[in-house]
Structure 1
């Protein structure tokens, strides 16, 4: 599916969308669809793309101060820079103002019922005694929430239909008391709006025209429509997509990742084992790959199951022509070759682009090469083909390495093994471990950030150069 296939009905002349993460960590691959689709539609029709931080839960989804900057950087790296950045915790007074409006109109009330008792009544479709309090009492209780009631002692509820078929939609909580410092506002506030209240007010205030998000948030829209009706507002158009399940990334949450980074299990938010955009970027997964792939999923409510292998396949197409080829030798073992003719062997940096140049090796009798440890399990008289070089026949395999001699002529159905002659030490960080070995010395001339294809190994990105050792991060096959 092309980008053009993602469209809105009625061809609107202006579209205002928003992507609203909780800033408790950098963005992950699971966030990409929300960023890319919302941004793309504002560029297709004209309008604004808003990045909004839904950061009004200072305890259960405690914001991480650094994440406010990281998420903007992640959006920019994806090629989807926000036109406006909104931080919900900076707009608390506007939420209080709307709370007082619905209290004064009788469309909300402050409930002091014990939570389990209220749930029992709610599940039976029975109104609690707080629901019929007059405005004066509700306003008095509302003021007491700021300095008198303890945590759990009172909540503001938005009136809906107490007999609604779905108990979750009956008189939902709009505000609660949380005595927990916020990373931006400190102890300034203790009465915090829940996401559905805050989000509804922000969408209206910012002129959001289309709410485009996952189907799992359908109930949020149903709740918010009650608040919009109470306040006399028109609800934005809603477009929902089905749940997306990404195989190959494990079960991660920002809070869990944060804990495991703190414990030392992961080196940081860009650890190759994590599904964050910072980690994917470090592995050489391009922003174009992620954008194109998520747009290809389209807009429909059917659930989608994909694999990271699908994303790797898309990335491979984007990288194949651009990346030069080199050899990497994990767990190197010495290979001594006798009788090889003295000559210079030239191997292209890319077989499809000969104009890029070659890697040149000077071969001579008695040359010492290095082959991967897993390929060194050879048998006497076995003939193997050295990639880019002649065939050899194995004479012996010992603790000091493999000894072989040059075998001229063509030999079909032989194993192919890559090797290096001169080398530089190399470490490759992988999602599931670390490989140590040697790579061709020409690689030392590359700039950090360059992506290469190590033949028979995979695409890797040069992460750092320290002295005579290079560190790469593994991308994929």
Structure 2
């Protein structure tokens, strides 16, 4: 105000708007600095009411963007009607966005400003103020809106969806919020890498779920332990098992030092049979006479199958024989060495199934791979295991 680079404007807002659109100064603009300083003091002392005066920063009245021309920096708020949530009605004069942020950035020593491209005009406004005050403007990087295929990132739409019962909360698996991604097992490092790969572009960018999954998969694959989960299980009875077998299933195929899960399959003394939970989908993919291999255990030949059960007979232990027969490799869980499990999918549907008993040792927030199914984040472990599906 003292240097003549700002002024106190008492003009009618509509009159000011018409003049600024015509690139003409209002009658307040060229008043002497002493008058503006007096108006400023009167403003601070409560001599004006809300809407009667505005502090404006002088810019170029011929600037091609009318929003830049002599932009408002501070105004009066009737805090008796609209008290501030922290200081109540203590103050009457309040800075607007560009004054507040511009001064804060300078006082805090900000060197780089990273914000959305909708603030490009604000940069131009603030640069005028910085030049008036003899300050160096920080490096500013503006980026476009990020979108992701098939998911809304609009907070207002998400809130409306929760009110209508469409979404349960901010971590509903159908959303692309950080809370939802975290609950599904999408790591912070994966999100960070994808954002860095995209880079700060001023154009809007639509992200792909598959790209995010590919990055997350590379992060999880070396660290996630493996377990068996059987969705839509049916009981497979394997007959003519000649002896007791012990299956040692490594927690990770490339890190034997992590240990293994061990299951002993002891056939019934009378019938020579043992029962397993297997996926109905795997059984449906086979027909009578087909050989399938129970992973890391032995080979069986399908004899019959129905909607709820299947029967098979032991053929051999050799993996080589299974390979020569081009046998389907399927995962399995011994009946009685299991626990109920539900997996919440990315579309918020729930897939019921059976998990192996070793999963009882898992903790919430563990991220594991259910073999032949996908990566999941463990949500709760009680009498039933609940997991959230991340991706293949």
What TM-score range do you get, normalising by the shorter chain?
0.7 to 0.9
Confirm whether residue 122 of structure 1 aligns to residue 38 of structure 2.
no
Deviation, 1:136, is 6.1
Query: Which residue in 1 is equivalent to 2:253?
Result: 351
- The 8 Å contact of residues 110 and 142 in structure 1, kept in 2 or not, is answered as no
In the alignment, the residues of structure 2 paired with residue 315 and residue 197 of structure 1 have an alpha-carbon distance, to the nearest angstrom, of 41
Q: Which moved more, 1:345-354 or 1:134-143?
A: 134-143
> Which ranges in structure 1 are unaligned for 5 or more consecutive residues?
1-101
In the alignment, the residues of structure 1 paired with residue 48 and residue 354 of structure 2 have an alpha-carbon distance, to the nearest angstrom, of 66
Confirm whether residue 231 of structure 1 aligns to residue 144 of structure 2.
no
In the alignment, the residues of structure 2 paired with residue 111 and residue 147 of structure 1 have an alpha-carbon distance, to the nearest angstrom, of 10
In the alignment, the residues of structure 1 paired with residue 91 and residue 68 of structure 2 have an alpha-carbon distance, to the nearest angstrom, of 27
Q: TM-score, normalised by structure 2?
A: 0.80
Larger Rg: 2
From 370, 386, 389, the equivalent of 1:471 is 386
Q: Which moved more, 1:199-208 or 1:188-197?
A: 188-197
SS in 1 for 2:377: strand
Confirm whether residue 161 of structure 1 aligns to residue 76 of structure 2.
no
Q: Which moved more, 1:457-466 or 1:270-279?
A: 270-279
Cα offsets for 1:454-477 (capped at 9, x unmatched)? 1122211222223x1122222222
Query: Which residue in 2 is equivalent to 1:419?
Result: 332
CA RMSD of superposed structures (Å) = 3.4
Deviation, 1:326, is 0.7
Confirm whether residue 392 of structure 1 aligns to residue 294 of structure 2.
no
Deviation, 1:322, is 1.3
Q: Say if 1:129 and 1:328 are closer, same or farther in 2 by CA, change over 3 A.
A: farther
Confirm whether residue 247 of structure 1 aligns to residue 148 of structure 2.
yes
- The 8 Å contact of residues 378 and 397 in structure 1, kept in 2 or not, is answered as no
Q: Say if 1:297 and 1:268 are closer, same or farther in 2 by CA, change over 3 A.
A: same
Q: Which moved more, 1:184-193 or 1:400-409?
A: 184-193
Cα offsets for 1:171-200 (capped at 9, x unmatched)? 223235486455544555565433222110
Confirm whether residue 438 of structure 1 aligns to residue 340 of structure 2.
no
Cα offsets for 1:223-273 (capped at 9, x unmatched)? 10111223332222x242543634247222344444544555444333433
From 270, 280, 283, the equivalent of 2:181 is 280
Q: Which moved more, 1:417-426 or 1:132-141?
A: 132-141
Deviation, 1:168, is 2.4
In the alignment, the residues of structure 1 paired with residue 152 and residue 52 of structure 2 have an alpha-carbon distance, to the nearest angstrom, of 35
Matches within 5 A, 1:36-435: 102=1, 105=4, 107-114=6-13, 118-132=16-30, 134-135=35-36, 138-139=39-40, 142-143=43-44, 148-149=49-50, 155-176=54-75, 177=77, 180=82, 182-186=84-88, 188=90, 191-236=93-138, 238-240=139-141, 242-243=143-144, 245-248=146-149, 250-261=151-162, 264-297=165-198, 305-341=206-242, 342-363=244-265, 364=267, 365-378=272-285, 380-381=287-288, 383=290, 384-408=292-316, 409-410=321-322, 411-421=324-334, 422-433=337-348, 434-435=350-351
Q: Say if 1:184 and 1:387 are closer, same or farther in 2 by CA, change over 3 A.
A: farther
- The 8 Å contact of residues 103 and 139 in structure 1, kept in 2 or not, is answered as no
- The 8 Å contact of residues 461 and 475 in structure 1, kept in 2 or not, is answered as yes
Q: Which moved more, 1:186-195 or 1:399-408?
A: 186-195
Q: TM-score, normalised by structure 1?
A: 0.67
In the alignment, the residues of structure 1 paired with residue 343 and residue 92 of structure 2 have an alpha-carbon distance, to the nearest angstrom, of 48
More helix by share: 1
- The 8 Å contact of residues 378 and 394 in structure 1, kept in 2 or not, is answered as no
Deviation, 1:109, is 3.0
Q: Say if 1:209 and 1:366 are closer, same or farther in 2 by CA, change over 3 A.
A: same
Cα offsets for 1:306-347 (capped at 9, x unmatched)? 424323222222221111111112222222222344412222
In the alignment, the residues of structure 1 paired with residue 88 and residue 236 of structure 2 have an alpha-carbon distance, to the nearest angstrom, of 64
Q: Say if 1:399 and 1:291 are closer, same or farther in 2 by CA, change over 3 A.
A: closer
